[in-house]
Each structure stands twice: as C-alpha cells, then as structure tokens.
Amino acid sequence: MIFEAKQITLKDGRTAILKTPCIEDAEKMLNYIKKSCGETDFLIRYPEDWNGITIESEEKWVEGLRVSPVVLAIACYIDGEIAGNCEINFNRTIKTAHRASVHIALIKKYWNLGIGSAMFAELIAAAEARPEIEIVELEFLEGNDRAKALYEKFGFKVVGERPNAFKLKDGRLLKEYFMQKQLRNK
C-alpha cells in the first residue's frame, strides 16, 4: 500500500514528510533500523541481527511493502534522511481479519518531536478506514515509558503480558505487555 507524501510540522518547528519508503531508499531504511536497534533495548533486534540483510534484499522488502494489500508502511523523512518508520499489518486469515497490528521505531535524535504521534494518527486512520477492523494491537516492553505514553494517548489499553520476553546481553529479562485499542464493536 502507498501512503502519499504528507508534510507535518514537528514540535521544534521543523517540517518532515510522511510517506511510504521508496525502493531507492532501501539502503537508508536498513541504516536507520540498524541505528535505531543500537540506540534502544526496546526493539526486538540488536544491530548485528541485521547483518544478513543485504541492500538487494532490503529493496525487495521495500518493494513488497509498496505492493502489499495488507501492509501500510509510513516512513518519516527529514532533510532527505529517514527519521523512522511505522507499519500497520492487516491480518489475512478469516478468523483474525478483525485485528491489525502496529509497529514503530524512530532514530533517537528524533524522539519527543511528535513524529510518533503524527504516525499513529495516520495508522489509526488507516485502520478506521477498513470497516472490518475492530481491534488494533501492539506490544511494548517494561520500561518503555515513552512508547507506553504514546500508546495510552491513542487509547490503547494493556490486555496481557509475557514475562521474560526479552533477554538482553547483560542477562536482564524484560516483560512484554500486549495492548489493544478497540476501534468498534460488532
């Protein structure tokens, strides 16, 4: 799916563009996610977990995003740089087609500027535009208070948890929380 370019104004007055990543930006996408994974423990991968991903495979992945009928990816571009990306995945199977899941990660220097909020507004709008979607869901890890605040602001509520979900290199174990936002009841 394609999200056409839309300009937003950040909390510091700068402008940014939200749009589905272009295939020619695949290398930038790979660099952004590797960087982001090195800046926080709250994403599922360490930077080296991306080592097997080549620019060619990333190009195929971006191309797949653009043509997929069940994924909407929205990247944030600032001065040509990718500040972050988010996705909403619409489930395919009949039994789960009422649910969609969302994911988001931004580079640290762009945290707290309102990008996450702008992205979430678009992801929720995309879910609302599909009458079959009743629930939007996500996961976050204990300690990720910024993410939790963002999700609560958009009406997500904790519905469950998985103890010991992440084991960090220093041995610390982190609990994962599941959140859902009820869009509509059927």
| Closer residue to ligand COA, CB minimum distance, 20 or 144 | 144
Residue 8 as a binder of ligand COA (CB under 6 A): the answer is no
Least separation in angstroms between residue 90's CB and ligand COA is 19
Q: Which of 42, 90, 156, 177 binds ligand COA (CB under 6 A)?
A: 42
Give the phi and the psi of residue 160 in degrees, each rounded to 5. Answer: 180, 175
| Closer residue to ligand COA, CB minimum distance, 132 or 161 | 161
Measured distance CA(91)–CA(169) in Å, rounded? 33
What the block records as the tokens of 29 is 């996408």
Q: Which stretch binds ligand COA (CB under 6 A): 88-96, 139-147, 164-172, 175-183?
A: 139-147
Least separation in angstroms between residue 50's CB and ligand COA is 15
Measured distance CA(128)–CA(23) in Å, rounded? 27
Residue 115 as a binder of ligand COA (CB under 6 A): the answer is yes
| Closer residue to ligand COA, CB minimum distance, 78 or 127 | 78
Measured distance CA(38)–CA(135) in Å, rounded? 31
Q: Which of 19, 53, 81, 114 binds ligand COA (CB under 6 A)?
A: 114
Q: Which of 9, 15, 54, 112 binds ligand COA (CB under 6 A)?
A: 112
Residue 144 as a binder of ligand COA (CB under 6 A): the answer is yes
Neighbours of 159 (CB within 10 A): 13
User: Which H/E stretch holds residue 162?
Assistant: strand 157-167
- The CA-atom distances, in angstroms, between 185 and each of 3, 132, 181 are 27, 10, 11
User: Which H/E stretch holds residue 5?
Assistant: none
Taking residues 69 to 88 in sequence order and writing x for each that binds ligand COA by CB under 6 A, - otherwise, the string is ---------------x----
Residue 116 as a binder of ligand COA (CB under 6 A): the answer is yes
Segments in the chain forming alpha helices (H): 26-39, 55-67, 115-128, 145-153
Nearest to 174 by CA among 155, 147, 137, 153: 147
Least separation in angstroms between residue 92's CB and ligand COA is 23
